[in-house]
């Protein structure tokens, strides 16, 4: 008797008792069988679909979907025709219960407890039945295949003439296809000539190389750009011709890594013409994939941007000079404002104070005389004194707006407190100021910039925001200074901020840029605007 090879039999053990299931699985796996497990009827049906076992040891009493129903569903599936289902009961059952299992489609019935040797012997018997069933099915399929082959041969013999006629028709159709293919090839060749002519006429230089980088084709624009003729460059590597030595080896390594990975490289490169002159070109290198899905060629499109780069350099220089001029004008304006404020406060303020004292003296003198006829003169003197008081206040306000003395004497924090208090009194807007707990006094340029940017931001709030609350935070995080002004108004139009239409915002940005800082204006969540100033440590230098 032929021995069974256990490895040829896949067994699914279905039992809700994990100990029984695991013990049976270990015993059968040790014997060499391919074993899988399921703990429920639903899991068993899914395992049948996923693993296609040859033999199922199915517990009759499963929770939910019981073993009998599982067996019926398996046997109803035509794809499971060769699958053997052996019902397993935990104890000895009556013959009518066994009959129920067989009527459900079961191929056998086992009752526990079973000795290991008996279980292996029964499983081996079922396994031989599985192998035998499989062998019979294969033989039947082979017989059906041979029968079908014989029928096909017979049909082929009977239809030989018809096949010959069809072969003639196919030959004629093939000839028509061949003529069509020739026509399409001619059209393709015409398109290729047109494309070649277009590339040759392109204003940008175009180079086609093989995978190793050897030049296979160039257009006239390339020869004009480099000074080399087409005959001089064919079969050579571009680095032998135009490499300027202005880029490190790493630059070229990254370029090759990019295109060999199938990606387009785009960038600027400095090259050298045949006459030795250096030029800057903008180049895009595109890899071309061949029929075997490998990159066989590279196409480089080149544009001379030497003039553009020179113009950009000149523009940057002009911008730097303009920024320097702007910074200088701001510094001069601050110096002039300081001088004028000092002169107004010291000279005009002193003169007005002296005039006020004289008027007070004259007022007291007129009161002491007590002459009724001098009452009009006394009233006029009182009015003049009040006018002098108002003028003094105006002078003080103008001097403070030009350059608040508290900024120079007490520092930025004190100046912000004073300005916020005045803004709240004049506008009715609730203002909150948060400053560092420790004593803080930034360098003079930083303090002036922060104060002026604060003033400009608050001017925008008063003119445009229609806000009811403004929050001002002055912070000194590691590495710099940060001033943040938040309002709950209608906010600034994004287009106005992005286009630079606001001269005030431009001025704020220039003040920050002079100290290597930046100003950002963004919408506030819930409505309003956030103006944030950041000046790094050492920005004043």
Q: Convert the pLDDT of each residue in 176-200 to its tens digit.
A: 887 787 778 777 777 766 666 666 6
Q: How many CB atoms lie within 10 A of CB 368?
A: 8
Please determine, for residue 334, whether its predicted confidence score (pLDDT) is greater than 90. no
**504-510 long-range contacts, CB within 8 A, separation 24+:** 504/456, 504/459, 504/460, 505/456, 505/460, 507/456, 508/452, 508/453, 508/456, 508/457, 508/533, 510/323, 510/326, 510/327, 510/330
- pLDDT bracket for residue 471 (50, 70, 90): very high
For residues 402-417, give the mean pLDDT: 73
Count of helices and strands (H, E) across the chain: 18, 15
Place of tokens 């007490």: 410
Q: Tell whether the model's pLDDT for residue 497 goes beyond 50.
A: no
For the cut 60, the answer to whether the pLDDT of residue 147 exceeds it is: yes
**Average pLDDT of the residues of the chain:** 80
Q: Within a 13 Å sphere around the CA of 389, how many CA atoms are in the beta-carbon half?
A: 8
Q: Tell the residue number behind the tokens 């030049």, with chain if given.
A: 215
High-pLDDT (> 90) share of the chain, %? 12
pLDDT digits (tens, 9 = 90+) for 156-173: 666 666 776 687 788 788
Residues 31-42: tens digit of each pLDDT = 889 999 999 989
Given this model, what pLDDT does residue 402 score?
Answer: 57
- Min mean pLDDT across 61-70, 152-161, 306-315, 360-369 is at 152-161
Output the pLDDT for position 395.
Answer: 65
- In this prediction, residue 432 has a pLDDT band, given cuts at 50, 70 and 90, of very high
- At 469 the pLDDT is 93
Taking a C-beta distance cutoff of 8 angstroms, is the pair 474, 412 a contact? yes
Q: Which residue has better confidence, 404 or 233?
A: 233
> Are the CB atoms for 474 and 441 separated by under 8 Å?
no
**What tokens were used for 188?**
């393709």
């Amino acid at each position: 008797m032929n021995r069974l090879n256990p490895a040829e039999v896949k067994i699914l053990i279905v039992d809700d008792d994990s100990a029984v299931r695991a013990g049976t699985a270990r015993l059968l796996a040790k014997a060499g069988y391919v074993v899988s497990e399921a703990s429920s009827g639903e899991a068993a049906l899914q395992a049948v679909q996923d693993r296609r076992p040859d033999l199922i040891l199915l517990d009759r009493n499963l929770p939910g979907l019981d073993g009998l129903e599982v067996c019926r569903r398996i046997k109803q599936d035509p794809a499971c025709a060769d699958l053997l289902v052996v019902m397993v009961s935990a104890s000895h059952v009556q013959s009518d219960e066994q009959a129920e299992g067989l009527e459900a489609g079961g191929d056998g019935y086992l009752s526990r407890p079973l000795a290991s040797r008996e279980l292996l012997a029964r499983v081996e018997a079922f396994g031989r039945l599985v192998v035998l069933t499989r062998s019979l099915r294969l033989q039947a399929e082979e017989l059906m295949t041979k029968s079908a082959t014989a029928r096909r041969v017979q049909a082929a013999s009977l239809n030989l003439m018809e096949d010959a006629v069809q072969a003639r028709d196919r030959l004629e159709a093939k000839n028509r296809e061949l003529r069509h293919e020739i026509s399409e090839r001619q059209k393709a060749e015409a398109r290729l000539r047109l494309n070649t002519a277009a590339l040759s006429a392109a204003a940008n230089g175009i180079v086609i190389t093989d995978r190793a980088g050897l030049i296979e084709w160039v257009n006239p624009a390339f020869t004009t750009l480099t000074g080399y003729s087409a005959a001089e460059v064919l079969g050579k590597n571009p680095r032998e011709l135009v490499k300027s030595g202005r880029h490190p080896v790493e630059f070229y390594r990254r370029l090759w890594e990019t295109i060999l990975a199938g990606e387009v490289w785009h960038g600027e490169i400095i090259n050298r013409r045949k006459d030795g002159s250096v030029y800057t070109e903008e180049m895009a290198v595109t890899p071309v994939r061949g029929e075997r899905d490998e990159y066989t060629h590279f196409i480089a499109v080149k544009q001379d941007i030497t003039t553009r780069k020179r113009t950009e350099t000149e523009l940057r220089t002009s911008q730097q000079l303009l920024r320097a001029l702007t910074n200088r004008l701001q510094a001069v304006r601050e110096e002039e404002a300081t001088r004028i404020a000092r002169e107004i406060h010291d000279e005009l303020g002193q003169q007005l104070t002296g005039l006020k004292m004289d008027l007070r003296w004259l007022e007291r003198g007129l009161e002491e005389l007590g002459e009724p006829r001098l009452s009009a003169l006394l009233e006029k003197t009182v009015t003049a004194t009040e006018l002098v008081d108002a003028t003094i206040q105006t002078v003080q306000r103008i001097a403070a707006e030009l350059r608040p003395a508290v900024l120079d004497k007490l520092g930025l924090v004190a100046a912000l407190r004073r300005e916020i208090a005045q803004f709240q009194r004049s506008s009715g807007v609730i203002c909150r100021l948060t400053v560092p707990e420790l004593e803080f006094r930034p360098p003079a340029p930083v303090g002036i910039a922060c104060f002026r940017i604060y003033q400009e931001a608050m001017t925008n709030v008063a003119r445009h925001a229609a806000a009811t609350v403004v929050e001002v935070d002055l912070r000194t995080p590691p590495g710099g200074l940060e001033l943040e002004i938040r309002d709950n108004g209608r906010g600034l139009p994004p287009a106005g901020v992005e286009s630079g239409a606001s001269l005030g915002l431009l001025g704020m940005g220039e003040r920050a840029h002079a100290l290597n800082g930046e100003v950002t204006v963004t919408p506030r969540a819930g409505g309003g605007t956030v103006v944030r100033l950041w000046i790094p440590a050492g920005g004043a230098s």
